[in-house]
Amino acid sequence: MKNYLPDKSCLMTLRILIISVSVVLVSAVNYFFTVKILIILIDTIIGAGAFFMMFAYLPLFLKSIRYTVTDTEITKSSGVIIRLHQSVQYSSVQYVNVITTPFSQYTGLNFIVCFVYGGQLRLVFLNHNDAREILDKVEQKGGESGCTTNTL
């Protein structure tokens, strides 16, 4: 049994992404609206939402994620307010998609999606090496049951 945690660099990547989206939204509001009080109100809401996401919710969410890989199954535990546990046996995995982004070894944006009968298990924000280890385990154990892998 081995435990995996999200990559620490994904928090900084997500913060940069949130700041970028917030700047675009604030710019769009300032361009399209003419009522000053409305602009100030919407800009304040966007700023407060971005601040809350960057410094309160995302750190708690990333701290709550844990993946446990055993010889027979993968278990995902996550959730800030409501704790969720999701387990998938290798024998029920139909196919696997691996999603990586450019420079994913630096950004922590590596995702594995295991498609099973009636649903899917998403392993998000993995370290590049951890994603490779989990994928090798799924291919090894899932290959016995006919699992296919799609690497993007």
| Domains delineated in the chain | 1-152 (2.30.29.30)
Residue with tokens 């435990």: 3
pLDDT of residue 147 exceeding 80, the answer is no
pLDDT of residue 29 exceeding 70, the answer is yes
- Among 26-35, 83-92, 142-151, which is the least confidently predicted range? 142-151
pLDDT of residue 27 exceeding 60, the answer is yes
- Listing DSSP states for 99-120 in one string gives EE-TTHHHH--EEEEEEETTEE
Question: In Å, what is the CA distance from 2 to each residue of 49, 70, 130, 131, 134?
Answer: 36, 7, 10, 13, 10
The 10s digit of each residue's pLDDT in 57-112 is 999 999 999 999 999 999 999 999 999 999 999 988 888 999 988 888 899 999 99
The 10s digit of each residue's pLDDT in 100-137 is 888 888 999 999 999 998 899 999 999 989 999 999 88
**Cα 87 from Cα 116, distance rounded (Å):** 11
| Predicted local distance difference test score (pLDDT) of residue 124 | 95
Q: What is the pTM of this model?
A: 0.85
